[in-house]
Structure 1
Amino acid sequence: MAETPGVDDLRRAWDEQADRWIAWARRPGHDTYERWHRDAFLPILPGPGRLTVDLGCGEGRLTRYLRSAGHRVVGVDGSPRLVAAAHGADPSGPVLNADAAALPLGDGVADLVVAFMSLHDVDDLDGAVDEVARVLVPGGVLCVAVVHPLNSAGTFRSRAAGSEYVVEGSYLGGRRYADSIERAGLGMTFHSLHHPLQDYTRAFERNGLLVEALREPAVPDEAVRDDADRRWQRVPLFLHLRARLGEGTS
């Protein structure tokens, strides 16, 4: 993981990586999403309601799944190229190109917002959560998956299964980083912001979003391919949160 100070336009960075991400996300079995992550996330999701917003939908893989499960979904992403790919893969519903902190949706129109692996990839976390609260109905739900703050704060010493895990620098405070990965002939650079857990919960608290579920899913045995994967059975890769907008808040 390389820290990249002085650059704050994550929307542009992800648009530049769009073609690589589409190839990465759509190769069967290549990514954690298909191998185990989506299925670990689904238990915190409520069932279909009147409208679900897929915030940071990327090339649309979760949007497509949610539609197949009966949700009426609007996808939103900051990358024009990813929005085009999502719409091309499934033109049955709207996919909007927009900043997460300026959603082109009315007040109180959704009963569910899903932000799967996206809130750590937006330039303005507080603004994005403000907008989530605005578009949710009172009692509506936000379900989030992010890179676990412990993951983005540290690193393993080696690829051995029992390798020591070390937090380098400061856990507290946000910072931009880039994680470049080569796997099975595909390369991808993930551009993100490290946030301590309190950055998320403070944004929720300010908007009356009450956390009612928190999960740190372990990589299941069936998804482990080598010792490098097995390390992540001791330290969480991802963090899952479900928060509900308080009645009378909107």
Structure 2
Amino acid sequence: MSSPEPGLRDAWESEAQRWIAWTRRPGHDSYEQWHRDAFLPLLPAPGRRTVDVGCGEGRVSRGLRAAGHRVVGVDGSPTLVAAAREADPSVPVVLADAAALPLADDAADLVVAFMSLHDVDDLSGAVDEIARVLVPGGLLCLAVVHPVNSAGGFVSRRADSPYVIEGSYFAPRRYADRLERDGLGITFHSVHRPLEAYTGALERSGFVIEALREPVAPVEAVRDESNSRWQRLPVFLHLRARLDWR
């Protein structure tokens, strides 16, 4: 009998050192090239407290703090939590599962879940917990791999390559993406979920979606002509939701 597949927390802990090296090497992490200019305008001005769920090694938490937010980071990887604390000891970071946040009810007016909710085993539990720690009227701003992106792939690296979805778009499934560049390599462990899985979890937890964005890949991010194929479909999904009831 084969061994059961490790949970996503364990899978990311196994990649933690490679992720730290990857995200801290200039030009490797997608945050600055693909996300920042599109994602940050979704966020409100700094308020009472901002919780960064799935903070990883802390690069978004550090940016939020620099912008004036009172940030608490949360991550399930001991190695990434230690790296975040070391990088900026002024930002408190706690080790916890996203579906069991060690924070009081109504503890924050903003939760940021940047590129993390597709990497959790219990999406509904995580969204429920986010709702619990938010004050009524509080905001959740999230970014995930776009479900169209995680559902399929290009046939080749040609700019005009067909994009194919094999199997069911609607069926959630684990997947792993292996990337290598300039002597660094990392495997991203995630779950493909259809768009309705995210919107349904938000709806059940009392959120109302205020904004939904499908940012087009910037020219400087695609690097060469063959990578321009990524400008033909949404790679990431950005969303802002307000807690309407609980």
Letter in 1 for 2:121: D
**Partner of 2:120 in structure 1?**
122
**Partner of 1:132 in structure 2?**
130
Letter in 2 for 1:12: D
Residue 232 (structure 1) aligned with residue 240 (structure 2): no
Letter in 2 for 1:121: D
Q: Provide the aligned length of Structure 1 versus Structure 2.
A: 244
CA distance in 2, matches of 1:68, 1:84: 20
Q: How far has the Cα of 1:8 moved from its partner?
A: 5.0
| 3-state SS in 2 of match to 1:83 | helix
Question: In structure 2, which of residues 24, 29, 32 is the aligned counterpart of residue 31 of structure 1?
Answer: 29
Q: Percent identity?
A: 71
Residue 87 (structure 1) aligned with residue 91 (structure 2): no
**Partner of 1:243 in structure 2?**
241
Residue 97 (structure 1) aligned with residue 87 (structure 2): no
**Partner of 1:172 in structure 2?**
170
Letter in 2 for 1:145: A
Contact 1:83 1:97 in 2 (8 A): yes
Write the mapping of 1:1-250 to structure 2, written as runs, cut at 5 A. Answer: 7=5, 9-246=7-244, 249-250=245-246
Q: CA RMSD in A?
A: 1.2
- Structure 1 residues 8 and 16: CA distance shift in structure 2, 3 A: closer
Q: How far has the Cα of 1:208 moved from its partner?
A: 0.9
- Structure 1 residues 55 and 228: CA distance shift in structure 2, 3 A: farther
CA distance in 2, matches of 1:105, 1:76: 10
More off after superposition, 82-91 vs 180-189: 180-189
Q: How far has the Cα of 1:93 moved from its partner?
A: 1.9
CA distance in 1, matches of 2:173, 2:86: 34
- Structure 1 residues 40 and 242: CA distance shift in structure 2, 3 A: same
The runs of 5 or more residues in structure 1 that have no matched partner are none
TM-score using structure 2 length: 0.97
List structure 1 runs of 4+ shifted beyond 3 angstroms.
none
CA distance in 2, matches of 1:44, 1:78: 25
CA distance in 2, matches of 1:125, 1:196: 12
Letter in 1 for 2:156: S
CA distance in 1, matches of 2:142, 2:164: 26
Letter in 1 for 2:172: G
| 3-state SS in 1 of match to 2:106 | coil
CA distance in 2, matches of 1:202, 1:243: 12
CA distance in 2, matches of 1:26, 1:187: 13
The runs of 5 or more residues in structure 2 that have no matched partner are none
